[in-house]
Structure 1
Amino acid sequence: MTTVRGQDRTLGHRAANATVWGGVNMALGRIVQFTTTIIVARMIAPEHFGALAVAIVVQTIATNMAELGATAALARGNGDPDKIAPTVFSIALVTSGIMTAAAIALAPALAAAFDDPAATPVIQVLSITILLQGIGAVPSTMVWREFLQKPRVVVDVGSVLTVLVLVVPMALDGWGAMALAWSRVGGQLVAMVGYWIITPKRYAPGFDRTVAGEILRLGMPLAMANLVVFVTLNMDYLLIGRMLDPTALGLYLLAFNLAGLPSSVITAVIRATAVPTFGRLFAEGTLGTLAARFVAGVSYCAFPISALLIALAHPLIVTAYGEAWAPAGIALATLGVFGATRILVELFADLSLGAGRTGWLFWVQVAWLVALAPALYVGITQWGIAGAGIAHATVACLVVIPLYVKALTSVLRISAWQLMGGSLPSLLAASAAGLVAWLGTNGITDPVLAVVAGALLGTMTYALLTFRQGRALAGEIRSLLHAKGTASDETSPHASTQGRTGTP
């Protein structure tokens, strides 16, 4: 009989290796994506990015509602995929088709709500990606569930390269925002085909009423939470579009994407293994003891990056996108704080999903939305696009994180200090590093030199202040990567779930 300790070592070894490959995937993908944005920003006016922002809001909300959270039951690793996957496929296919048709039909009204009629055809084209994601929902989830991050690198990098290959000639030919939309459709098509190729097992649509009921009991609260959180995270686009103008919206979109780059990379790396890993650890009763180490490790990586984004906001924007985008620097500086808090929020959401607690996850998102709406209105009214960043950071720090901590400490049976105490040294060191970077580059007029010098100063400061913590974290990662699994085939995701029914 395989021991629990053996299962933990095997799971840790597989998760650590998948996380490394997830990191490689994200690094390559984000480099190409960032390069694409730099190229396109120098060919397309800010107002075209504003139209894309409107379309992305619609696409993101529809995509995250499309499969009604059904893939969560498949991703957690606590059920037989042969039993679950066909029903998940059917749900994803039907709902994504409905969402695609609705987005296309309602595009004029949605564009008018953002006070940007030019966004109508962009919304309609980008809506095609909703259906493509629905078709690929089960294959992509199976790749996630089985920790197949190594072959996923090829698929995801191929997808972003497709976007680059398509968008540049379209932009040069004067397609404007439509170049951004059609290139994303091409990238999504490549991703869908790639996931179908590398998935460990292919499933046809099917339907089991009992399984559907179980799936939707877990998935519907998650889908509603996703809807609320994506409305929350995109409400700023709606308010800026209506209260300011498309140019301001384009500047804000670029600043928001750059500020969110660390969080998107880090959370995507974590998500490569988080939900299936957390689900298994919760079933074994060990998630509570390990959660604090996850929080401390993520904080160590995330906080200094966000601190340097804040300190070097203006020269970074000018270096990357050109002087025409300089007004976005002030928004980037305020959004940098939110970027750091968002990384923690995403980790807390994954811990919640791993613990199977999607019900109160929804209510945290509702509280976030209720608090953010008036904060954004006041912030944008007083300080323009910078005020939106201030509102995001304030609500995340004072409302969202405390609610998540309260909820997680209850279900994981640990104290708030046990969960969050390990992140305090990283926060203090990152603040000091950001201050040193800002003071050291305050008189440098060349933006490229300011970015290079500030990054070096800040990184060196942070490394010196957190040397022991960094060495300990590196040691833990090395031990996981070199751990040899002692379990037999019984520890595979399929076998380890036999005999366990329902949600823990």
Structure 2
Amino acid sequence: MSETATLGVRAARGAAWSGASTLLLRLGSVIVGIVLARLLTPEQFGVYAIALTVQGVLMTLADLGLSADIIRSRDPDRIAPTVASLGLAAGGALAALTLLTSGDLAALLGAPQAGPAIAILSATLLMAGASVVPYGLLMRRFRQRELFLIALADFVVSTVLTLALVAAGMGVLGLAIGRVAAQAVASALQFALARVRPRYGFDRRVAGAVLAFGLPVAAANMLSWALINVDNVVLARTVGAVALGFYVLAFNIAGWPMSALSSVVRSIALPYFSRGPGGFAAVTSLVWAAALPAGALLAVLAGPLVEVLYGARWLPAAPALAALGVYGGLRVLFDAFAGYLYARGRPGPVMWLQIASLAALTVALVIVAPLGGIVAAAWAHVAVAALLILPGYLVALRAAGARPAAVIRALALPSVASVPCVAVAAFVAATVPDPLAALLVGGISAGVCHLVVVGHWLRARIRELREPGPDPSEDIR
């Protein structure tokens, strides 16, 4: 078997492991989220969202894009000591800074009660920075089984501790403590399962090259997180913690399928595109064939889904969920685009596109959130994604060697095939009065329809991914 074919098989196996494990863990997270929704108030959801927003944005800086360079490097062992030193220094500095300024950050974001949770979560920044090397090596080797075991341990520790502390009345602090404990376990397991020990050193030439690649990646990732979470900041200051709680629930629900799909895409895109000569069109079309119907179904079944899982008191989250489902589908597609650009050594366009998107979304949110609340904020995400991010990526892909027309053709069939299936679900949601029946019948009928319409096409694209040849989306010169 050729090296290219072997890479395709490894990527396909990695995707299978990543997809199955992520779906399993996501299902567990859904169940835990339902339990927490019965224990916490919408206001507490909103407060914790602010704390997680700070932690999520800073976590990308703690990585500094270093794990991505380990993944793509031709000689990861040579750069590993320098990468480890840079990661530890960045994580430690950010942890100390966040701890010292946690109260001020919370007040600045309009939720001073989030200060203690931000202080506790600062410890995760140090752990993330210290473990960039083993994480990068696991990703590079397509060790999705080991990554699943790490994620499972993280989930178990976080769930058990969080539920116990929340039930004991600790509220938001219980969530933060559970997150820190889980991160500690995950970081230790990364070292153990990657079979590496902490090795530190510093080579000035290696550091320069690593930072030249990693800093734009880290900036793009940070801006991506900010793009997703800037609405939390604006809503906290304009509509208050209660409305933010409904919005956070909607965003979390939209993240169920989309985070699972994004995890699969990120786990294979960079290592696959870094070493494979083609496959971009096949990967992109497969990603869209999964992301588009998932997002559309969230949109049309939002009301029944929220009422069945969380109860009628959370129904104000449903209109925002409808828009966020559509946005989530686009975001998964953008992950595939970014992976291709990173593999071509072009992190800069991703970063600049995120900057432009963040600026546009912030302006849009400041204008529409006071007028339309959480629903307007959700649709602002869709507008910026469709009108700015998508065209911007097509331009960047063209500069990296892909042909936009071929990319659009790869997306066409999944788009057309989703229309009748989503229409079936929308009809069921509109005509079946019982929310549980509407959810089950609508979801199952749409799923069966989708498999019937695109089943043969999906098998062909998977074969193309496993044995990639020349890719029509790329310029072959």
Residue 491 of structure 1: aligned partner: none
Residues 304 and 429 in structure 2, CA contact (< 8 A), matched pair in contact too: no
Taking the TM superposition and a 5 Å limit, the aligned residue runs for 1:372-411 are 372-411=361-400
The correspondence of residues 55-454 of structure 1 with structure 2, limited to 5 A, is 55-76=51-72, 78-281=73-276, 286-287=277-278, 290-412=279-401, 414-454=402-442
Of 3, 6, 11, which residue of structure 2 is paired with 1:10? Answer: 6
Match of 1:485 in 2: none
- Partner SS state of residue 88, structure 1: helix
- The corresponding residue for 2:39 is 43
In the aligned structure 2, how far is the partner of 1:428 from the partner of 1:460? 16
1:480 deviation in Å?
A: 5.5
2:447 corresponding residue in structure 1: 459
Give the counterpart letter for 1:462 in structure 2: H
Deviation at 1:471, TM superposition (A): 3.5
Deviation, structure 1 residue 185: 1.0
* Displacement after TM superposition at 1:475 (Å): 4.4
Q: Tell me if the contact between 2:249 and 2:317 (Cα under 8 Å) persists in the aligned partners.
A: yes
Deviations 1:134-192 (A, max 9, x none): 12221111111111111222111111111111111111111111111111111111111
Give the whole-Å Cα distance in 2 for the aligned partners of 1:152 and 1:170: 27
Q: 1:382 Cα deviation (Å)?
A: 2.8
Q: Distance in 1 between matches of 2:303 and 2:60?
A: 33
Q: Distance in 2 between matches of 1:402 and 1:474?
A: 27
Could you tell me whether the CA contact under 8 Å between 1:228 and 1:366 is conserved in 2?
A: yes
Deviations along 1:39-61, one digit per CA (max 9) or x if unpaired, are 11111111111111111111011
Larger CA deviation: 329-338 vs 200-209 = 200-209
Q: Would the aligned equivalents of 2:265 and 2:335 in 1 still touch at CA under 8 Å?
A: no
Q: Which runs of 4+ in 1 moved over 4 A?
A: 474-477
Per the alignment, residue 473 of structure 2 pairs with: none
Q: CA deviation at 1:8?
A: 0.3
Conserved 8 A contact 1:310-1:434:
no
Cα RMSD of the aligned pairs, angstroms, is 1.6
39-48 vs 17-26, which moves further: 17-26
C-alpha displacement of 1:295: 0.8
> What is the one-letter code of the residue matched to 2:101?
L
Q: CA deviation at 1:461?
A: 2.5
Aligned partner letter, 2:180: V
Count of matched residue positions in the alignment of Structure 1 and Structure 2: 468
SS at match of 2:319: helix
Q: TM-score, structure 1 length as denominator?
A: 0.90
Match of 1:53 in 2: 49
Deviation at 1:280, TM superposition (A): 1.6
Q: 1:297 to 1:79 in 2, by over 3 A?
A: same
Question: 1:126 Cα shift?
Answer: 1.2
**Whole-Å separation in 2 of the counterparts to 1:121 and 1:177:** 9
Tell me what 1:499 maps to.
none
Q: Does the 8 A contact of 1:296 with 1:420 survive in 2?
A: no
Deviation of 1:256 (Å): 0.7
Q: Which residue of 1 aligns with 2:20?
A: 24
Which SS does the other structure have where 2:197 is aligned? coil
* Distance across 2 between alignment mates of 1:254 and 1:64: 23
| One-letter identity of the residue aligned with 1:420 | I
Aligned-partner SS, 1:147: coil
Contact 1:24 1:153 in 2 (8 A): no
Deviations 1:319-365 (A, max 9, x none): 12222211101110111110111011111111111111012221111
Quote the Cα distance in structure 1 between the aligned partners of 2:4 and 2:272. 10
User: TM-score by structure 2 length?
Assistant: 0.95
